[in-house]
Structure 1
Amino acid sequence: MQWATLLAAAAALAQNAAAQNMLRFACSQLVVERTDPLVNPGMKYTPHLHQIVGGDSFNVTMDPNNDPAQLSKCTSCTFNQDKSNYWTAVMFFKAKNGSYIRVPQIGNGGPQGKLVNDGGLDVYYIPSGKVTAFKKGFRMLAGSASNTDASKVKSGAICHRCWTSASENTFVGGAPCSGSDTVAIPKSPTCKLIRQTIIFPTCWDGKNLDSPDHQSHVAYGQGAGANGGGACPSTHPTKLPQVMYELMWDVSKFADQSMWPTDGSDPFIYSMNLGGSAAHGDYVFGWEGDSLQKAMDNNCNLNTACPKAGLTVQTSAQYGACKKKQQAPEDVDGWLKAMPLGEMAVKA
């Protein structure tokens, strides 16, 4: 009876997420390179590799005085008005011979419908009541790229799911970061896909567009998961839309355990050479004018045009065609002798 109750609750959560008005849209890969204008501004060949999506004005420094919405000529995301940049670490598969290859990515399915990506990730903006959209120059970071302690991770905000279905359209599990989701990257051969979820804080101090650690100006509210965020603390009273990244890593090609390392090391690892405890996401706001505020106020939904907010959409071919040349050039495709950590990438 207890299991039946839990399953019913999980199903209800999934249904509520499907019914709740939110922006949910695809962003294809803009570039894969070792830059990080949030944590390492001005540096080329940063300590680890990132995959970046969004506006093509993305650059090594990303001066907060410059508006991506004005500078970008295209965006790799669905909505024409969204020139924001979103980026995460890259997942690698480590073979038993010590070589590495990037794990491919696909779009997501689930109750809200299929999203089409050329690499990249899916982005959600989930409101809970009246929310204040981000301001020009706003940026933030979720997670820590150097963390090795899973107990320090807010498990209701950063998690991984073993997706046992071969198709992303066959929904597995309940609401994000619930049930059997783990901070650690799953390493079962039964996983066809690994879904990574990164949920950002929803409470803002109302003053600072950034902070030295890119986190102190925001805070998580009460509760956990993809519910739009709970009540905010008095130190961070302004309610923001909840930003969530979803990434579908296709590990189906690596199910044969004879390919896996024999030294006990994990077969799936992020580009910091660390596991799920170091998963993180970076966000730089770049919506045109007050389009995001209007989208939240007018209950714009999913990845469809919303005339009340002036939102227009691109086809997957259009947003997938928005690409940028590497600013820190190196060949990161195919098998690599080692993960690019400081040294230039070398083909295996």
Structure 2
Amino acid sequence: MKQWASLAGAALFAPYASAQFTMLRFACSQLVVERTDPLVNPGVLYTPHLHQIVGGNAFNASMDLETYDLPGRSTCTSCSFAEDFSNYWTAVMFFHHRNGSYIRVPQVGNGGPQGRLINDGGLDVYYIPNGRVTAFKKGFRMLAGNAANTDPSRVQGSYICHRCWPSTSDNPFPGGAPCTGSDTVEIPRDPGCKMIRQTIYFPVCWDGVNLDSPDHQSHVAYSSGNPGGGGGNCPSSHPVKLPQLMYELMWDVSKFADRNMWPTDGSPPFVYSMNIGGAAAHGDYVFGWKGDTLQRAMDNRCNLNNDCPAAGIHFQQPAVYNSCKKPQQAVEQVDGWLASMPLGEPAIKA
């Protein structure tokens, strides 16, 4: 197992390494950007902060996450696998201009040794197996990170991190595995950063019983091993090994490198939509793969974003998944320069 994980880490993250293991790695474009969160604030419009949501277009502020049939209700998915109607969402990064205005930071697909992914905003998703894993069950959901946290010391830097990218190209690929080396919990404040990569690793161990928990975290746990290799041994309280779910976001900050645009009071130029630091970075997940396709993909070692007949999963062309959009349910302006960030308004029940 240790040897396999070592090979996995080398193949996944070493520049130009030959692939010695397999994983799903695919693009998910933005479905909608709005203030909804059916996991933490079910049924509420204008939740405390803005999210970018990707995946199946059956996403709804008031969906019952345990019984809601995402594959059956969705007519498209903004992810590149046609069978994945899961929903994945994160906070949005803003640039704060010294004149007080805000604008969303644009996003791009990641490249690297495994090839470039094409996104219309959104994020890249990884499912990394380590030996035999049990796929998520219908109704499963979880949360990584804490949207209210302001203390970087309370964040495990090997699970949630940021990397300063010195150019808008990823060739040569800077650094090694995510959340290693000079990667930081906080968002970098270096004008030399042309892109900022955000990585969110989810827990890989499950109690085997509960599809959720009151805090959306207690039913899962991190393993003892390197998450980049799919994780290690699970604790006895959470004995079921899941696929290692990872989000990867590439924020293009190249247009904001001029310090003359940055705030003069020392406040950070880049903030998430909670309007607090990178220690509050977080990700939400609701499982929605069609049938048993994810389990079959893990069992058959389906690779990257390719068709995999053994699992019955099919890659969609970018024009297809990029066209899957959903109108805002919490309607408000989120594009262009804004006088203030979309947050703090009274919540409205949908």
2:316 alignment partner in structure 1:
314
Q: Quick one: structure 1 residues 170 and 48, their matched pair in 2 at CA, closer, same or farther if it must change by over 3 Å?
A: same
2:97 alignment partner in structure 1:
95
Q: Quick one: structure 1 residues 12 and 118, their matched pair in 2 at CA, closer, same or farther if it must change by over 3 Å?
A: closer
Residue 342 of structure 1: how far off its partner (Å): 2.1
**Whole-angstrom CA distance in 2 between matches of 1:85 and 1:182:** 27
CA deviation vs aligned residue, 1:176-226 (integer Å, no higher than 9, x gap): 111100001001010000000000000000000000000000000002331
Residues 287-302 of structure 1 mapped to structure 2, 5 A cutoff? 287-302=289-304
2:159 alignment partner in structure 1:
157
Residue 67 of structure 1: how far off its partner (Å): 1.5
**Whole-angstrom CA distance in 2 between matches of 1:177 and 1:17:** 21
**Whole-angstrom CA distance in 2 between matches of 1:12 and 1:289:** 28
Q: Is residue 176–residue 225 contact of structure 1 (8 Å, CA) maintained in 2?
A: no
**Whole-angstrom CA distance in 1 between matches of 2:132 and 2:54:** 28
**Whole-angstrom CA distance in 1 between matches of 2:243 and 2:176:** 22
Give the alignment partner of residue 85 of structure 1, picking from 63, 69, 87. 87
2:266 alignment partner in structure 1:
264
Q: Secondary structure at the match of 1:309?
A: coil
Residues 135-174 of structure 1 mapped to structure 2, 5 A cutoff? 135-174=137-176
1:26 alignment partner in structure 2:
27
Residue 319 of structure 1: how far off its partner (Å): 0.1
**Whole-angstrom CA distance in 2 between matches of 1:207 and 1:76:** 30
2:41 alignment partner in structure 1:
40
CA deviation vs aligned residue, 1:32-62 (integer Å, no higher than 9, x gap): 0000000000000000000000000000022
Residue 12 of structure 1: how far off its partner (Å): 9.0
Q: TM-score, normalised by structure 1?
A: 0.94
State the 4+ residue runs in structure 1 displaced beyond 6 angstroms: 9-12
1:56 alignment partner in structure 2:
57
Amino acid at match of 2:127: Y
Percent of pairs with identical residues = 72
Q: Is residue 107–residue 168 contact of structure 1 (8 Å, CA) maintained in 2?
A: no
Residues 1-348 of structure 1 mapped to structure 2, 5 A cutoff? 14=14, 18-63=19-64, 64-343=66-345
2:4 alignment partner in structure 1:
none
Q: Quick one: structure 1 residues 148 and 218, their matched pair in 2 at CA, closer, same or farther if it must change by over 3 Å?
A: same
Q: Is residue 17–residue 175 contact of structure 1 (8 Å, CA) maintained in 2?
A: no
Unaligned stretches of 5+ in structure 2? 1-8
Residue 147 of structure 1: how far off its partner (Å): 0.3
Q: Secondary structure at the match of 1:97?
A: coil
**Whole-angstrom CA distance in 2 between matches of 1:252 and 1:10:** 29
Q: Quick one: structure 1 residues 17 and 275, their matched pair in 2 at CA, closer, same or farther if it must change by over 3 Å?
A: farther
CA deviation vs aligned residue, 1:229-248 (integer Å, no higher than 9, x gap): 11000000000000000000
Amino acid at match of 1:60: A
Residue 267 of structure 1: how far off its partner (Å): 0.1
**Whole-angstrom CA distance in 1 between matches of 2:21 and 2:105:** 32
Q: Quick one: structure 1 residues 56 and 46, their matched pair in 2 at CA, closer, same or farther if it must change by over 3 Å?
A: same
Q: Is residue 54–residue 77 contact of structure 1 (8 Å, CA) maintained in 2?
A: yes
**Whole-angstrom CA distance in 2 between matches of 1:90 and 1:34:** 10
**Whole-angstrom CA distance in 2 between matches of 1:237 and 1:302:** 27
CA RMSD of aligned residues (A): 1.5
Q: Quick one: structure 1 residues 322 and 312, their matched pair in 2 at CA, closer, same or farther if it must change by over 3 Å?
A: same
CA deviation vs aligned residue, 1:128-148 (integer Å, no higher than 9, x gap): 000000000000000000001
Residue 171 of structure 1: how far off its partner (Å): 1.2
**Whole-angstrom CA distance in 2 between matches of 1:168 and 1:87:** 24
Q: Secondary structure at the match of 1:308?
A: coil
Q: Is residue 48–residue 345 contact of structure 2 (8 Å, CA) maintained in 1?
A: no
CA deviation vs aligned residue, 1:237-269 (integer Å, no higher than 9, x gap): 000000000000000000000000001100000
**Whole-angstrom CA distance in 1 between matches of 2:298 and 2:12:** 24
Name the count of aligned residue pairs: 336
Amino acid at match of 2:39: L
